[in-house]
Structure 1
Amino acid sequence: MELFQLRYFLAVAQFEHVTKAAESLHVAQPAVSQAIRHLEEELDVTLFDRENHHISLNSSGKLLQSKLLPIMSSLDRLPEEIKEASLKQPVIHMNLRSASAIITNCIIAYRNIHPEIKFKLSQKPDDPTADYIISAVRSDTELLPSQHLLFQEDFYLAVPANSRMASLSSIKLEKTAKESYVSLESNRPLRAICDLFCQSIHFTPNIVYESDNPETVRDLIAAGLGVGFWPQYCWKKPSPDQVRLLSINNPDCSRQVIASIPKASAQNPAIMEFHTYLTDWIQKNLLSE
């Protein structure tokens, strides 16, 4: 049995008139007659009593009609139900301004467990649609009730392995006044934090290379073209034969990576469940290393 045959049958059963049924279906009358005939042949029963160009449902036809009506009604509702279900699928609108690689890895792990949760990510400085925001502030910043610490990380001074400073274990930032710096561009959040470190001791680094790409910054430092700030967790540890990381004694170069959860978002079970997962995931996969 084909689906169109069953639809044609129900239309003829409703009108008990082939021509009217064909008009309601917007098909030719012979196509409807042929479909009914093939359906009766396949079922090996007659579904209509035919007399003087008039047809009416017989007992077999009435039985088939009673069985088909709820099935076809369910099929007719199915597209709308699927659409409604997709609209109700939980979506977390995340503004990802810091630690993007770490958070992305966590999202991948989370969706392996909860594939029904969707994420929409943005990196705009201000995204009014975001209901979960990842950003960073200096370590001495007092957090608001809506802000939650995910982790704290130090910044190192990264120097080429062949640099005269490579043998040092730590350094004061002011001692690098004559060094060439490689840095992210000024519109990047990580750069803004590093600028605050420098401003706190009235230090202006001699930036000779800027890039919007963190990988480019890392490669330029490894190539010996300058020194630069290197976050403890958000960037992978470099190969020691290319780059050495020095602790910075002065000033305090560290930041808090935080999740900001607006009041309305805090009432959303999907968002809060992900937040709990994220904090646990960071503890297990980042801070315990």
Structure 2
Amino acid sequence: MELRQLHYFMEVAEREHVSEAAVHLHVAQSAISTQIANLEAELGVALFDREGRNIKLTNIGRIFLSHAEMVVKAADNAKKQIDEYLDPERGTIKIGFPTSLSNHLLPNVISAFKGQYPNISFQLRQGSYKFLIDSVKKSDIDVAFLGPVPKNEPDIESSILFAESISALIPLSHPLAKSEKLHLSELKEDDFVSFPHGFILEKILVDACRQAGFAPKISSEGEDLDAIKGLVAASIGVTLLPESTFQESTPRMTVKIPINSPQIRRTVGVIKKKNKELAPSEKVFYDFVKEFFSRLNQFQ
């Protein structure tokens, strides 16, 4: 069994068409057919059902696909580690991040890191809370920034970088706009603007309101910070957002007000797959991030 055979097999499994796989891999169709036939002969099973020009995975083929993906991923990771051990200050790091950390935290960290390690490059992937955790578990992403830091994930190793408060963002025309602080229950009659169900910031908002004794009336949803802030600025409703999302400025026609009851906070940290040995460039970045925020917290 060869890695080349596994690559051919995975490509055909994805496209369900040998000729399309051949075009994508820039090899002859006959070469792919031969290698897959050799693979099936070695395994003693049929991996595909042939249906005219199209082919589909058999049940055993689907099982073999999951193992083939792990083998190829492990081989790619091994080659990456060897290449980086030869030159530890080069390499590519796959980093995941949520929308709530995209405007301030991520650019600052990467800018500071690139100042010291200019030859290390990045592949960045924005995603939801669950997507980022699952991607780290599957090694599709090397490290990810998250808030809050997951507590009950046995396959994840995490480091808390800092903790921050959650504040209310309300329209400038709101009756409470001149308040220095507020009880969250004071907003129980308001319409709320929120991220969609399943987003972690939506859960934080709903849990906070329930802690304050009411269920929020969510009238509008947005999938990114600018959309959420824009809806509040248009007086569509109020919302709750982490302190770090206000680093640059509070949007025009809105006001940010701290919440003194209940006190709502979230942790922000960096995660990696537990028991996975990071490649040199990944470890350099992981350690840099922890040291960067340790010094920042001491300064603050």
- Aligned match of 1:100: 102
Structure 1: state its 5+ residue gaps.
Answer: 1-83
Counterpart among 268, 271, 274 of residue 285 in structure 2: 274
Q: Deviations over 1:191-234 (max 9, x none)?
A: 23223323434531112221112112112212322211121113
Counterpart among 120, 131, 156 of residue 167 in structure 2: 156
Corresponding position: 1:116 with 2:119: yes
Q: Deviations over 1:99-140 (max 9, x none)?
A: 12312332133224313222222234121122212212279x
In terms of Rg, which structure is larger?
1
Residue 149 of structure 2 contacts residue 158 of structure 2 at CA under 8 Å; is this kept in 1? no
In 2 relative to 1, CA 85–239 (structure 1 residues): closer, same or farther, beyond 3 Å? closer
CA–CA distance in structure 1, aligned partners of residues 145 and 275 of structure 2: 16
In 2 relative to 1, CA 185–236 (structure 1 residues): closer, same or farther, beyond 3 Å? farther
- Aligned match of 1:53: none
**Aligned AA for 1:231?**
P
Structure 2: state its 5+ residue gaps.
Answer: 1-81
Corresponding position: 1:234 with 2:237: no
CA–CA distance in structure 1, aligned partners of residues 161 and 153 of structure 2: 12
TM-score by length of 2: 0.58
**Aligned AA for 1:224?**
S
Identity %: 21
In 2 relative to 1, CA 267–217 (structure 1 residues): closer, same or farther, beyond 3 Å? closer
Counterpart among 209, 213, 218 of residue 220 in structure 2: 209
TM-score by length of 1: 0.60
Residue 250 of structure 2 contacts residue 256 of structure 2 at CA under 8 Å; is this kept in 1? no
Counterpart among 244, 262, 265 of residue 255 in structure 2: 244
The structural deviation recorded for 1:285 is 6.4
In 2 relative to 1, CA 182–115 (structure 1 residues): closer, same or farther, beyond 3 Å? same
The structural deviation recorded for 1:165 is 0.1
Residue 229 of structure 2 contacts residue 251 of structure 2 at CA under 8 Å; is this kept in 1? no
Q: Deviations over 1:44-96 (max 9, x none)?
A: xxxxxxxxxxxxxxxxxxxxxxxxxxxxxxxxxxxxxxxx9699742222222
Residue 94 of structure 2 contacts residue 143 of structure 2 at CA under 8 Å; is this kept in 1? yes
- Aligned match of 2:64: none
SS of the residue corresponding to residue 146 of structure 1 reads strand
**Aligned AA for 2:241?**
W
SS of the residue corresponding to residue 261 of structure 1 reads strand
SS of the residue corresponding to residue 111 of structure 1 reads helix
**Aligned AA for 1:93?**
K
How do 1:1-289 and structure 2 match up within 5 A?
Answer: 89-97=90-98, 99-101=101-103, 102-124=105-127, 125=131, 126-127=134-135, 128=138, 129-137=140-148, 146-236=157-247, 238-239=249-250, 242-265=253-276, 267-282=278-293
